[in-house]
Amino acid sequence: MTPGNAEEDNTQQSSRSLEHLLQGKVYIDELPPDIKPIVKFLEKYSGIRAKDVDEHIHQIRDRLWEVYPYVCIGHFRFLSLKFTLDPRYQVALSRLCAPASKATFLDVGCCIGQVLRQLSVDGVDSSRLYGVDLEPRFLQIGYDLFQDEEKFNATFVAGDMLSQSEPSDSDELLSMLHGKINIIHATSFFHLFTWDDQIKAAWRMVQFLDPNDADVMIFGRHVGTTTPGDREGSRGSKKFLHDASSWQELWDEVGRLTGTAWRTEVNEIEESGIHSDGSTDGTLRRMGFGVFRA
């Protein structure tokens, strides 16, 4: 066996073992093999001793699970650093780290803020990083996970991206971001909502973006499908899953509502675990996306 074949075989075995570990379960006890990068991250960035990292991760995961039992929490996927493999992440990083750059980055549905911490480690001034999540406890647990509340200068806002009713404190905080953001990241976010709620969230994102910046970008990933339409969500909720055409249609509608125009791009992400919650829907796909001014 050649070294290349050996590496490929090891990758396939790891993928199969991960699939076996997750299949049909929403909460697992064993740390999956694909989160090794965050283990090293916590040792180096947070100064947590190697022998203490696994226990620390389990304690944090269980605190998050008590707040809300998302599958991504039960499977430890909230700790994944695979977003760094997205070419759009590298585009964002390049712009944020350019000489004299004042570009700003917002992570929507940021949960514990791992994307923002990675950007900081990659050289971005954390004072130009922002995170929004509906659940304020996730934000505090993020500080506890990374043990950096005294040194990390990103701005976190607890707010409802879907709110369009009477102004609230969270709306006022979100409004502070209007017109100030150059790059928005939103992973495992849109697939949680109905079409109408996705419109609301996308409308809010457009408000956040700098209207004078022709190079703004919204990017991320979510669960997509080859047959776009409504699906049953958790606890009886509804959600809308996209293919490339419906994703563009969504942003066309957002453009009409906001007087803007948007171009989208979509790519399928080959990755195990798409049916790890026990689903047998063969149309599901992991979908990466980018949204740009047209």
Q: Strand, helix or coil at 192?
A: helix
Angstrom distances, CA of residue 39 to CA of 21, 49, 51, 81, 93:
19, 10, 10, 11, 22
Could you tell me the sign of the dihedral formed by the alpha carbons of 231, 235, 236, 240, in that order?
negative
Phi, psi dihedrals of residue 7, rounded to the nearest 5°: -65, -45
Residue (of 117, 110, 112) closest to 131 by Cα position: 110
Predicted pLDDT at 233: 74
214 and 293 Cβ atoms separated by less than 8 Å? yes
Predicted pLDDT at 206: 98
Predicted pLDDT at 169: 65
Residue (of 69, 59, 169, 157) closest to 113 by Cα position: 157
What are the start-end ranges of the H helices in the chain? 3-22, 36-45, 50-67, 71-74, 87-96, 114-121, 136-146, 169-175, 195-208, 244-258
Could you tell me the sign of the dihedral formed by the alpha carbons of 49, 66, 132, 149, in that order?
negative
Tally the residues of the chain.
294
In angstroms, rounded to a whole number, what is the distance separating the alpha carbons of residues 51 and 13? Answer: 26
In angstroms, rounded to a whole number, what is the distance separating the alpha carbons of residues 287 and 289? Answer: 6
In whole angstroms, what separates CA 40 from the centre of its chain? 20
Please give the structure tokens belonging to residue 56.
Answer: 């620390």
Predicted pLDDT at 8: 43
Predicted pLDDT at 167: 55
Q: Give the chain's domains with CATH numbers.
A: 3-78 (no CATH), 83-293 (3.40.50.150)
Work out the number of other CB atoms within 10 angstroms of the CB of residue 94: 10
Would you write out the chain's pLDDT as a tens digit for each of its 294 residues? 444 444 344 444 444 444 444 445 789 999 998 899 999 999 999 999 999 999 999 999 999 999 999 888 999 999 999 999 999 999 999 999 999 999 999 999 999 999 999 999 999 999 999 999 999 999 999 999 999 999 999 999 999 999 875 556 667 889 999 999 999 999 999 999 999 999 999 999 999 999 999 999 999 999 999 999 999 876 678 999 999 999 999 999 999 999 999 999 999 998 655 544 455 578 899 999 999 999
Which are the contacts of 95, defined by CB distance < 8 A and separation ≥ 6? 101, 103, 182, 183, 215
Angstrom distances, CA of residue 109 to CA of 28, 36, 169, 246:
23, 23, 18, 22
Going by their DSSP bridges, the two strands 155-158 and 129-133 should be labelled as parallel
Rounded to the nearest 5 degrees, what angle is found at the Cα of 93, between the Cα atoms of 92 and 99? 110
